[in-house]
Amino acid sequence: MAENQKSEVLVHANELTCIREERILFDELSFDINAGDIVQIEGPNGAGKTSLLRIIAGLSRPYAGEVHYLNQNITRCRDEFNHDLLYLGHLAGVKSELTAEENLNFNLSISGYHDFDTSSILSKVNLSGFEDALAGHLSAGQHRRTALARLWHTNCRVWILDEPFTAIDKKGVEELEKLFIRHAESGGCVILTTHQDMGVVTEKQLRKIRLDYRFV
Ligand SMILES: Nc1ncnc2c1ncn2[C@@H]1O[C@H](COP(=O)(O)OP(=O)(O)OP(=O)(O)O)[C@@H](O)[C@H]1O
């Protein structure tokens, strides 16, 4: 990554407050996410990790506070932010009635990519030979890999990934971690939740933002 990119703030969370069912999940939470960061949002079940990811991605609105992308409120640079954002939620947009290849084709096409080799991308996530299998017939891990395949073909700088390692085997997790490091080193950032420990991304490479469950 170029020297001048290292301190580039990609995402700025400004005093975010999130309230769900009259419970304050987080209150006036502020942080920067720089180019090169791999950031894990951690905390127990129900602490508000998914809620925070969705707010950063602009998929839901905070009770108070704002999210900025490259110094602009995301509500004012929606197109630019969406263009640079890859968000993978729990369900991850894999349609059971489509094959692995059709799912990848669909997901890349709606993101504006036209020239790609699906077989080669699916081979990166160990789905060679399963291109024509219906996603609904794949194992849980293969289903998740179908969703994750698009990470190997994207220009998006900001990756927001909710539990990307769910159902993924040890080797697959290591490959994903290496991909995160490459992405961060090329000037992007990764913001993720996981309940798993990472073995390839070192403590030094990983930033953590902790949310704690609050009793009312
Ligand atoms: N749209 C919503 N309406 C009402 N309550 C919600 C909504 N979204 C989330 N919640 C509640 O907010 C709390 C935090 O949910 P969230 O999914 O953000 O937690 P999490 O930290 O990601 O949990 P987990 O580790 O179990 O995935 C939960 O109690 C949940 O029921």
- Atom index in ligand 1 nearest the CA of residue 163 equals 27
Q: Give the pLDDT confidence score for residue 160 in this predicted structure.
A: 98
In sequence order, what E strands does 45-201 have?
64-69, 72-73, 85-88, 158-162, 189-193
Instruction: Let me know if domain 3-210 sits in CATH 3.40.50.300.
Output: yes
Query: Contact at 8 Å (CB) between 172 and 141?
Result: yes
Domain extent listing, the chain: 3-210
> Which amino acids bring their CB within 6 angstroms of ligand 1?
20-21, 25, 43, 45-51
pLDDT averaged over every residue in the chain: 93
Query: Model confidence over 171-212: pLDDT tens digits?
Result: 999 999 999 999 999 999 999 999 988 999 998 899 999 998
Query: What is the Å distance from ligand 1's center to 63 Cα?
Result: 14
| ipTM of the complex as predicted | 0.96
Of 42, 50, 192, 213, which is best to mutate to test ligand 1, by the most ligand atoms within 8 angstroms of its C-beta?
50
Largest CA distance in the chain: 52
Kindly report whether the global pTM for this prediction surpasses the value 0.90. Answer: yes
Q: Give the pLDDT confidence score for residue 86 in this predicted structure.
A: 96
Helix (H, G, I), strand (E, B) or coil at 103: helix
